[in-house]
Chains A and B, each alone.
Chain A
Amino acid sequence: MLLKTLSESSGVSGGEQEIRNIIRQQVSPHVEEAETDVLGNLIVRKKGEKEGPTLMIVTHMDEVGMIVVGFEKSGLIKFSKVGGIDDRVLVSKVVQIGPQKIPGVIGAKAIHLQKPEERKKSIKIDDMYIDIGAGSREEAEKKVKLGDYISFITRFEEIGDHCAKGKALDNRVGCAVLIEILKKQNYPYSFYGVFTVQEEVGMRGAGAAAYRIKPDLALVVEGTTAADVVEVKKEGHVTTLGKGPALTIMDASVITHRGMVQFLKKLAEQNGIPYQIRRFTGAGTDAGRIALTREGVPSAVVSVPCRYIHNPAGILNLKDMENTVKLVDVFLKNLPEGGFNNEGID
Chain B
Amino acid sequence: MDITEFLQKISTTPGVSGYEDRVAEIVVEEFKKNSHQVRRDALGNVIALKKGLNSGPDSLKIMLAAHMDEIGLMVSKVEEGGFLRISPVGGIDPRSLLNQEVLVHGKKDLPGVIGAKSPHILEPDEMEKGVKMDKLYIDLGLSEAQVKEVVSVGDIITIRREFVRLGGQMAAGKALDDRAGVAVVLQCLQELQGLKHDADVYAVATVQEEVGVRGAIVSAYGVAPDMGIAIDVCHGDMPGVPEYRTSFLGKGTVITTGPNIHPVIYKKLVELAEEYRIPYQKDAAPGPTGTDAWALQISREGIATGLVSIPLRYMHTSVELLSMEDIKHSARLLARFIAAQKQDGLKELTECF
Contacts and interface: CB of A to CB of B under 8 A. Distances in A.
A and B touch in the complex (CB under 8 A): yes
Interface of A: 13-17, 20, 35-42, 66-71, 78, 80-83, 126, 146-147, 198, 201-202, 204-205, 207-209, 211-212
B300 A14 contact: no
Given A20-B353, A35-B350, A147 B302 contact: no
Choose among B261, B303, B350, B353 the residue with the greatest number of A CB atoms under 10 Å from its CB: B353
- Sorted nearest first, the 5 A-B pairs with minimum C-beta distance are A70-B244, A14-B259, A208-B302, A147-B257, A36-B353
A69 B285 CA distance: 8
24 contacts: A14-B260, A16-B353, A20-B353, A35-B350, A37-B350, A38-B302, A39-B302, A41-B302, A70-B243, A71-B244, A78-B242, A80-B286, A82-B286, A126-B242, A147-B266, A147-B282, A202-B288, A205-B302, A208-B298, A208-B300, A208-B302, A209-B301, A211-B302, A212-B302
Contact of B284 (A126, A147, A198, A205): A147
The number of chain B residues touching the other chain, given as a range, is 20 to 34
B156 to A, nearest CB: 31
Interface majority SS on A: helix, strand, loop or mixed? mixed
Contact of B301 (A20, A37, A69): A37
A100 to B, nearest CB: 16
B185 to A, nearest CB: 23
B48 interface: no
A35 B351 CA distance: 8
Interface string B190-213: 000000000000000000000000
Nearest to A65: B286
B257 A146 contact: yes
Interface majority SS on B: helix, strand, loop or mixed? loop
A304 B266 CA distance: 36
Contact of A68 (B262, B266, B284, B350): B284
B297 interface: yes
Contact of A201 (B245, B287, B302, B351): B287
Given A17-B353, A36-B351, A36-B353, A202 B304 contact: no
Interface of B: 242-245, 257-262, 266, 282-284, 286-288, 297-298, 300-304, 349-351, 353
A211 B286 contact: no
Contacts of B350: 35-38
B287 A202 contact: yes
Given A17-B353, A202-B287, A202-B288, A39 B282 contact: no
Contacts of A17: 353
Given A36-B351, A68-B284, A201 B259 contact: yes
A330 B257 CA distance: 42
A329 B350 CA distance: 30
Nearest to A148: B284
B349 A81 contact: no
B259 A198 contact: yes
A67 B288 contact: no
A81 B353 contact: no
A78 B349 CA distance: 29
A13 B259 CA distance: 6
Contact of A146 (B282, B288, B349): B282
B317 to A, nearest CB: 24
Nearest to B288: A202
A71 B244 CA distance: 7
A16 B283 CA distance: 20
B259 A212 contact: no
A81 B288 CA distance: 12
Given A38-B304, A70-B243, A82-B287, A204 B257 contact: no
A146 B284 contact: yes
Contacts of B298: 39, 204, 207-208
Nearest to B262: A38
Nearest to B281: A146
Contacts of A83: 287
Contact of B288 (A16, A39, A201, A205): A201
A67 B302 contact: no
Contacts of A37: 301-302, 350
Contacts of A82: 259, 286-287
Nearest to A35: B350
Contacts of B244: 69-71, 78
B234 to A, nearest CB: 13
A202 B290 CA distance: 13
A83 B258 CA distance: 12
Nearest to A289: B298
Nearest to B256: A147
Contacts of B283: 146
B258 A14 contact: yes
A68 B244 CA distance: 10
A136 to B, nearest CB: 16
Nearest to B353: A36
Contacts of B301: 37-38, 208-209, 211-212
Contacts of B262: 38-39
Contacts of B257: 146-147
Given A13-B259, A38-B303, A67 B286 contact: yes
A122 to B, nearest CB: 20
